[in-house]
Copies of this chain bind each other. A is one copy, B any other.
Amino acid sequence: MLDGVTIGAAARQSGVKVPTIRYYEQIGLLAPPSRTESQRRLYGKADLRRLAFIRHARELGFEVDAIRTLLTLQDDPHQSCAAADETARARLAEVEQRIASLLALRAELKRMVDGCANGHVCDCRVIETLADQTHNHGRLA
């Protein structure tokens, strides 16, 4: 199977934008695909799967370097999966951290918004809340 789909179709199917696909090729995340005579890229099934993989991982917040690692592991499945597990674990910790801080943030934003009488005159606490530095984690006074 030497033929495949054009970059546009690949973009549609994978959900990765055209320039982003080219960018991934440029940074070596995606191998250069075969080309038509007129130098157009042709993507096969494997490329599409790889693209979907990348996209999914990016959506999950994995950095490109982490994805590179995962892809290497994928390419050589006999390797230990410890690295993949490690990567996922690190990410999980990160995510839980992030969730916690976003929950705190949401509470604060809610407080801010609630403090502002919706259709009323300026009784707004948004700025005061932001200016309020009782969240001082700086040492000293």
A interface residues, Cβ below 8 angstroms from B: 12-15, 46, 49, 52-53, 55-57, 59-61, 70, 73-74, 77, 80-81, 84-85, 87-89, 91-92, 95-96, 98-99, 102-103, 105-106, 108-110, 112-113, 116, 118, 122-124, 126-127, 130-133, 135, 137-141
Contacts and interface: CB of A to CB of B under 8 A. Distances in A.
Contacts of A102: 95, 98-99, 102
Contacts of A46: 141
A141 B49 contact: yes
Contacts of A95: 102, 105-106, 109
A66 to B, nearest CB: 10
Contacts of A112: 88, 92
A40 to B, nearest CB: 21
A55 B49 CA distance: 41
26 contacts: A12-B138, A13-B140, A15-B138, A49-B133, A49-B140, A56-B130, A56-B133, A60-B109, A70-B127, A74-B127, A74-B140, A81-B116, A81-B124, A81-B127, A84-B116, A84-B124, A84-B126, A85-B116, A85-B126, A88-B109, A88-B116, A88-B126, A91-B109, A92-B110, A95-B106, A95-B109
